[in-house]
Amino acid sequence: MAKKKILIIGVGGIGSYLTPLLSKTDNYDITIADPDIVEKKNVSYQNFGMHQLGATKVDSLELSYPCKRVAYPILTDKQLKDYDLIICCADNLDVRRLVYRQGFQSDCMTQWLDLRAQGRNGALISYLADPKLCDTFLAGPEGSFSCQGEAFNNTLNAKDLHFTHVAIAGIGAQWVQRWNNGEQIKDKMVINI
């Protein structure tokens, strides 16, 4: 049986945990995309170590897990072609808008999953969601934002760390497994820990 082709956009807080979970199953042909490098502040909550500082996130993950890497930003519809599933773990609304333009439900060109976290909150939104909720799903600050929320971003103090992004990565991996197996999958889910 051919492996499903998956594109994971963003391998920081959520994507750096999701990639190993999915790659270890050996069910998927995974491509990871993220132009960012590993910074010291990332090590406390992303799946990277101090020895990877200054390396690109995609290079760091590719060394440990079977996947292909794209070290440049995903900015166009053309870059989303030829995948069975697109998983958005990016911390940027413009990237999410690009993914959501793939469509919803039966009008979807490429199936997609949006995983997000901020502080103690997390969400899973899929192509199966009601398109009338699209404006709500895409509401928020322009530009990039961290899955850690305001407290950690302002202090960089370990006492302000949250780990909901790891829970969302696990929930996302389970969703992908069920999707791959042809089982019933959720259209959306919100958690608050």
Give the contacts of 192 (CB within 8 A, at least 6 positions apart): 120, 121, 122
**What tens digit of pLDDT does each residue of 157-187 get?**
777 778 899 999 999 999 999 999 999 999 9
C-beta neighbour count of 89 within 10 angstroms: 30
Give dist(CA 173, CA 141) in Å, integer.
Answer: 26
φ/ψ of 11, rounded to 5, equals -125, 45
- Residue 117 contacts residue 189 (beta carbons within 8 Å): no
Extents of the domains making up the chain: 4-192
Q: What is the pLDDT of residue 144?
A: 62
CA torsion, ordered 145, 150, 154, 155, to nearest 10 deg: -120
Q: What is the pLDDT of residue 193?
A: 83
Q: What is the pLDDT of residue 152?
A: 67
The second-level CATH assignment, the architecture, of 4-192 is: 3-Layer(aba) Sandwich (3.40)
Q: How many residues does the chain have?
A: 193
pLDDT at 139 over 90: no
Give dist(CA 108, CA 128) in Å, integer.
Answer: 9
**What tens digit of pLDDT does each residue of 13-60 get?**
999 999 999 999 999 999 999 999 999 989 989 999 999 999 999 999
**What tens digit of pLDDT does each residue of 82-116 get?**
999 999 999 888 999 999 999 999 999 999 999 99
3-state secondary structure of 158: helix
Query: Tokens at residue 182, please?
Result: 């042809």
Q: What is the pLDDT of residue 170?
A: 98
pLDDT at 120 over 90: no
The pTM for the full model equals 0.93
Q: What is the pLDDT of residue 145?
A: 65
